[in-house]
């Protein structure tokens, strides 16, 4: 028997499925379980409501372009620009609807919220090129449609930033010309020079600038040389030790002014001084950083014992147990239901997450991914990346079946509308169930042993932003827990290691090759969780475990006072940033303000630093000089703030361009407003939002060469039910077995009387399910849920997908972190 799998259609086509079911019908085996696959139901599965967060379709995008080209006729807006000095519509995407409009739609059958687009106008005909947000709506385009400046999400009240880098191509030409002008120096010190004809020439040079807006009227670029590392794209492992400062204040690259040079710890006021110094006999050289097999990511030749056998893999011969409405972006799995969508800046986000019919989260979404470096040289010393600027969604490329996701995963595509065109990113989100190698629960009792499998649902994407790949998972567990997990891999962004007597680089990392420093940095990745625990009115408390000394009457007269511990609850009464408690000595719990479980306890979810490499971090640097106010959210582990339509996001991708005057300054969101509600404060309804970080303090070491390993870079935050239900809700969904031990006495289960001939009726009735079914315990294995009961045969593709056939991308448009292809909006390619 074979089951074919179609990775794009995902769910098995029904004819194949029926054949499979026919073959795989399970024998009863004293267990009335049958294979409960119902392909018709799955195929017909539909989201209950429209996905109001869904991305803009190609058709909608085209209508918006047509509308704007007319509306902005006075700006001569072009759809696909041919030069850097045109005005064009950089991006078109969906404007997330206001929660205040969506809740009535979801819960009160009010009308669907208006659909609006968010567009970025790249305005380049003025002296200062700008990127400007507008809202266009309502859609579809009609008489009523208008274009208005989009300001409500931005604390600055502005809807624009100055574009540092409107003329990327010009700046690259400038940098290459600059490098060519000093080819005598680079040949002498680096044994390399620019080769415009052959970018693969290992002894050629590339140039990348790091821009800093020092003050409003001064834009500085530090330009560093790199070897190309084209073979494996290990360019960021190949920084070279020459740096040059350029005054890049003018929007016209022709007016840029070359300034100081930096080499081996010494500053030179200009290139002539640098040349003079080079010729002096006491000039100190340091070895260059040369490419070689050490940057290769694979070793095809090694044959250690064991590598000749393929490793174990996970299979799913009967198809998935979730239901997925691909068209709408809606899923259902063992009580969880949610919508998903993707945006260019932030990638995949989830909305209206419910568990067993109750509200848990309105929104769960990435906000920003910061990598902040430190170092003794002008590049590493001021370097930081806010990766939504490059686009966590824009750079979420096709996933590798069987490797990024199990061979049986389902895939979704996303569409990007940029520079007048629509691009599809195929198969860049996967969803799959996975059974962990460890159980969810187990117990060995006197006469039986019972085990419950830990099967969970994962929604995964990978954003490759330049050198780094972020694998981002949203994971759902049968008990109602939700995990957000990020793992980084790819090439580190190393710093040049100047091997001089000072060895200043040792203060910022380890030496990991001839002339490479591992360059310490912090990864702080922000997510928003708009928790609505059993409704919108919620409270955050810190439930502390505190040591105490108590005198108990039952201890007397022997123990006067007992050293012990007890619980103390501290409500968080105003917007605040918190750090994870020392010794995990507090539980951060978001409680429903009014909904209780059967025991009178408030329904809650705990927010906790989850699984991975140590606790999730916040930024080590205080008041980062480079960041200014652009990423204040990175300074604490977890924040609680009021939910507001005017504060939909904690960060904006364009913050990267104006860090000192960002569009969104997080301190204006977390600004100590009261969280009291109910009687005391009628203007606030108790709807709170949590912002939290995952990431790592990354001190790369020799093992990060060639690539950072995911087990060292993973971190997560979990949302775990805390008194949410009356007992563990996974019992009714979990798959497992109770094995009665050999011998007569098989007791311990409700309804099984080990001693008597007749089952004890009272106990037995407890074994009945709600619908009056009566499971009768028997000797041997008692399965809950349907187990495997026959051999399965699988096609090779279930074990090793046919990658050349299944992988669709021809060429990946990588972002080089030099602003080309970033939100700075360059005229990317010739139309």
Ligand X SMILES: *[C@@H]1O[C@H](CO)[C@@H](O)[C@H](O)[C@H]1NC(C)=O
Nearer to ligand X, 172 or 516 (CB): 172
Peptide bond into 557 cis (omega under 30): yes
**Nearer to ligand X among residue 646 and residue 803 (C-beta):** 646
The distance of closest approach from Cβ of residue 154 to ligand X in the complex, given in angstroms and rounded to an integer, is: 11
**HSE value, Cβ hemisphere, 13 Å, CA-based, for 154:** 20
Residue 557's CB is within 10 A of a number of other CB atoms, namely 5
**Shortest CB 392 distance to Cu ion, Å:** 16
Contact 66, 152 (CB under 8 A): no
CA 425, CA 398: separation in Å to the nearest integer? 6
Q: Which is nearer to ligand X, 334 or 397 (CB)?
A: 397
Q: What is the dihedral of CA 404, 405, 407, 409, to 10 degrees?
A: -150
Determine if the peptide bond prior to 140 is cis (ω within 30°). yes
CA distances from 355 to 332, 359, 608, 690, 725 (A): 10, 7, 19, 19, 10
Q: In the bound complex, what is the minimum distance in angstroms from residue 81's beta carbon to ligand X?
A: 12
Look at residue 542 and give the partner it binds from ligand X, Cu ion, none, a contact being a CB closer than 5 to 8 Å depending on partner kind.
Answer: none
Give the nearest distance from C-beta 174 to ligand X in angstroms.
Answer: 5
What is the number of alpha carbons within 13 Å of residue 565 lying toward its C-beta?
Answer: 8
563 binds, among ligand X, Cu ion, none (CB under 5 to 8 A by kind): none
* Largest separation between any pair of C-alpha atoms in the chain: 104
Looking at the Cβ atoms of 85 and 775, the one nearer to ligand X is 85
Nearest distance, CB of residue 295 and ligand X, angstroms: 21
The residue whose two tokens read 């290691």 is 497
Judge whether 390 and 823 are in contact, CB under 8 Å: yes
478 and 736 Cβ atoms separated by less than 8 Å: no
Based on CB atoms, which residue is closest to Cu ion, 406 or 494?
A: 494
The smaller minimum CB distance to ligand X, of residues 721 and 825, is found at 825
| Per annotation, catalytic residue among 63, 167, 352, 387 | 387
Q: Determine the interface stretch with Cu ion among 196-204, 611-619, 683-691, 693-701 (rule: CB under 5 A).
A: 693-701
Determine which one of 133, 263, 373, 468 is catalytic. 468
Nearer to Cu ion, 227 or 698 (CB): 698
Residue 468 is a catalytic residue: yes
Pull the structure tokens for residue 258.
Answer: 């070359």
| CA distances in angstroms from 115 to 140, 239, 393, 750, listed in the order given | 8, 47, 21, 54
676 binds, among Cu ion, ligand X, none (CB under 5 to 8 A by kind): none
Of the candidates 237, 179, 230, the residue with the CA atom closest to the CA atom of residue 209: 179
Q: Least CB distance from residue 172 to ligand X, whole Å? A: 5
Q: Give the C-alpha distances (Å, rounded to integers) separating 418 from 242, 415, 422, 674, 825.
A: 35, 10, 6, 41, 9
Q: How far apart are CA 267 and CA 259, in angstroms?
A: 11
285 vs 829, beta carbon nearer ligand X: 829
The DSSP symbol for 471 reads E
The reply to whether 698 sits near Cu ion by the rule CB under 5 A is yes
| Closest CB 208 distance from Cu ion, rounded Å | 18
Integer Cα distance of 132 and 151 in angstroms? 10
- Selection from Cu ion, ligand X, none that 429 binds (CB < 5 to 8 A by kind) is none
The DSSP code for 588 is E
Q: Is 426 exposed, middle or buried (0-12, 13-18, 19+ CB in 10 A)?
A: middle
Of 640-648, 697-705, 752-760, 768-776, the window that binds Cu ion (rule: CB under 5 A) is 697-705
> How many residues sit close enough to Cu ion to count as binding (CB under 5 A)?
1
Which residues bind to ligand X, rule: CB under 6 A? 75-76, 85, 98, 114, 116, 125, 152, 169, 172, 174, 177-178, 181, 252, 254-255, 258, 622-623, 645-646, 813, 820-821, 828-829
Structure-block tokens of residue 465 = 């932003």
- Quote the least distance from Cβ 619 to Cu ion, whole Å: 13
- Partner that binds at residue 638, options ligand X, Cu ion, none, CB closer than 5 to 8 Å by kind: none
User: Pick from Cu ion, ligand X, none: which does 698 bind, CB < 5 to 8 A by kind?
Assistant: Cu ion
Angle at 671 between CA 667 and CA 675, to 5 degrees: 140
* Residue whose CB is nearest to Cu ion in the complex, by number: 698
- Among 379, 419, 424, smallest CA distance to 77 is for 419
Binds 125: which of ligand X, Cu ion, none (CB < 5-8 Å by kind) = ligand X
Give least dist CB 86 to ligand X, A: 8
Calpha distance 794→205 (Å, rounded): 50
Q: Which is nearer to ligand X, 129 or 406 (CB)?
A: 129
Q: Is 487 in the site for Cu ion (CB under 5 A)?
A: no
The residues assigned a catalytic role are 387, 468
Contact residues: Cu ion, CB under 5 A: 698
């Amino acid at each position: 028997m074979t089951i074919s799998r179609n990775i794009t259609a995902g769910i098995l086509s029904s004819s194949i499925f029926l054949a499979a079911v026919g073959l795989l019908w399970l024998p009863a085996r004293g267990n009335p379980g049958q294979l409960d696959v119902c392909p018709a139901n799955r195929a017909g599965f539909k989201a209950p409501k429209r996905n109001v967060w869904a991305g803009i379709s190609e058709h909608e995008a085209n209508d918006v372009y047509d509308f704007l080209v007319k509306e902005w006729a006075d700006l001569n807006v072009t759809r696909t620009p041919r030069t850097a000095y045109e005005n064009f519509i950089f991006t078109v995407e969906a404007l997330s609807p206001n929660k205040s409009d969506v809740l009535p739609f979801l819960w009160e059958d009010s009308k669907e919220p208006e659909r609006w687009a968010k567009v970025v106008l790249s305005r380049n005909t003025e002296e200062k090129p700008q990127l400007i947000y507008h809202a266009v709506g309502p859609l579809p385009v009609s008489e009523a449609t208008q274009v208005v400046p989009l300001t409500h999400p931005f604390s600055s009240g502005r809807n624009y930033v100055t574009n540092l880098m409107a003329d990327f191509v010009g700046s690259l030409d400038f940098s290459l010309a600059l490098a060519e002008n000093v080819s005598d120096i680079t040949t002498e010190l680096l044994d390399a020079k620019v080769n415009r004809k052959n970018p693969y020439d290992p002894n050629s040079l590339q140039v990348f600038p790091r821009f800093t807006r020092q003050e409003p009227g001064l834009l500085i670029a530090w330009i560093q040389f790199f070897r190309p590392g084209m073979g494996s794209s290990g360019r960021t492992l190949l920084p070279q030790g020459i740096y040059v400062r350029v005054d890049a204040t003018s929007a016209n690259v022709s007016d840029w002014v070359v300034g100081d040079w930096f080499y081996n710890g010494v500053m030179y006021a200009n290139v002539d001084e640098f040349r003079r110094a080079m010729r002096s006999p006491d000039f100190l050289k340091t070895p260059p950083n040369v490419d070689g097999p050490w940057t290769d990511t694979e070793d095809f030749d090694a044959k250690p014992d064991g590598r000749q056998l393929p490793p174990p893999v996970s299979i799913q011969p009967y198809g998935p147990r979730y239901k997925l409405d691909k068209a709408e972006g809606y899923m259902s799995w063992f009580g969880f239901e949610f919508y998903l969508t993707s945006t260019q800046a932030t990638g995949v986000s989830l909305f209206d997450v419910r568990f067993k019919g109750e509200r848990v989260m309105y929104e769960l979404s990435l906000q920003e991914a910061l990598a902040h470096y430190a170092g003794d040289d002008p590049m590493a010393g001021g370097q930081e990346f806010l990766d939504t600027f490059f686009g966590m969604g824009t750079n979420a490329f096709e996933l590798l079946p069987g490797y990024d996701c199990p061979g049986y995963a389902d895939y979704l595509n996303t569409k990007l509308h940029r520079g007048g065109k629509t691009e599809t990113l195929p198969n860049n989100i996967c969803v799959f169930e996975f059974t962990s190698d460890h159980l969810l629960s187990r117990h060995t009792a006197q006469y039986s042993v019972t085990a419950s499998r830990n099967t969970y649902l994962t929604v995964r994407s990978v954003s490759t932003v330049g050198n780094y790949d972020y694998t981002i998972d949203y994971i759902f567990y049968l008990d109602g827990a939700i995990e957000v997990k990020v793992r980084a891999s790819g090439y580190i962004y190393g710093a040049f290691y100047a091997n001089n007597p000072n060895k200043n680089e040792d203060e910022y990392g380890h030496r990991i090759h001839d002339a490479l420093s591992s360059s310490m940095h912090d990864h702080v990745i922000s997510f928003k969780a708009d928790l609505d625990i059993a409704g919108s009115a919620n409270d955050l408390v810190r439930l502390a475990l505190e040591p105490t000394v108590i005198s108990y009457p039952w201890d007397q007269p022997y123990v006067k006072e007992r050293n012990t511990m007890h619980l103390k609850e501290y409500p968080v009464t105003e917007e605040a940033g918190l750090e994870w408690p020392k010794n995990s000595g507090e539980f951060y719990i978001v409680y429903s303000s009014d909904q209780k479980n059967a025991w009178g306890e408030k329904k809650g979810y705990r927010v906790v630093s989850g699984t991975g490499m140590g606790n999730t971090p916040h930024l080590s640097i205080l008041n980062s000089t480079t960041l200014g106010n652009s990423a204040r959210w990175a300074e604490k582990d977890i924040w609680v703030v009021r939910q507001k339509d005017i504060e939909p996001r904690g960060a904006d991708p364009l913050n990267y361009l104006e860090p000192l005057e960002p569009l969104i300054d997080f301190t204006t969101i977390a600004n100590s407003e009261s969280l009291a509600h109910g009687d005391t404060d009628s203007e606030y309804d108790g709807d709170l939002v949590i912002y939290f970080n995952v990431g790592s303090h990354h001190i790369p070491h020799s093992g990060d060469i060639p690539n950072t390993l995911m087990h060292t870079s993973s971190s997560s935050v979990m949302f775990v039910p805390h008194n949410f239900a009356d007992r563990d809700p996974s019992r009714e969904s979990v798959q497992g077995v109770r094995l009665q031990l050999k011998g007569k006495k098989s007791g311990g289960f409700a309804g099984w009387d080990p001693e008597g001939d007749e089952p004890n009726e009272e106990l037995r009735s407890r074994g009945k399910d709600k619908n009056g079914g009566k499971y009768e315990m028997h000797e041997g294995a008692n399965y809950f849920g349907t187990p495997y009961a026959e051999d399965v045969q699988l096609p090779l593709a279930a074990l090793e997908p046919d990658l050349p056939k299944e992988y669709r991308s021809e060429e990946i448009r990588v972002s080089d972190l030099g602003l080309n292809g970033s939100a700075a909006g360059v005229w990317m390619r010739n139309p």
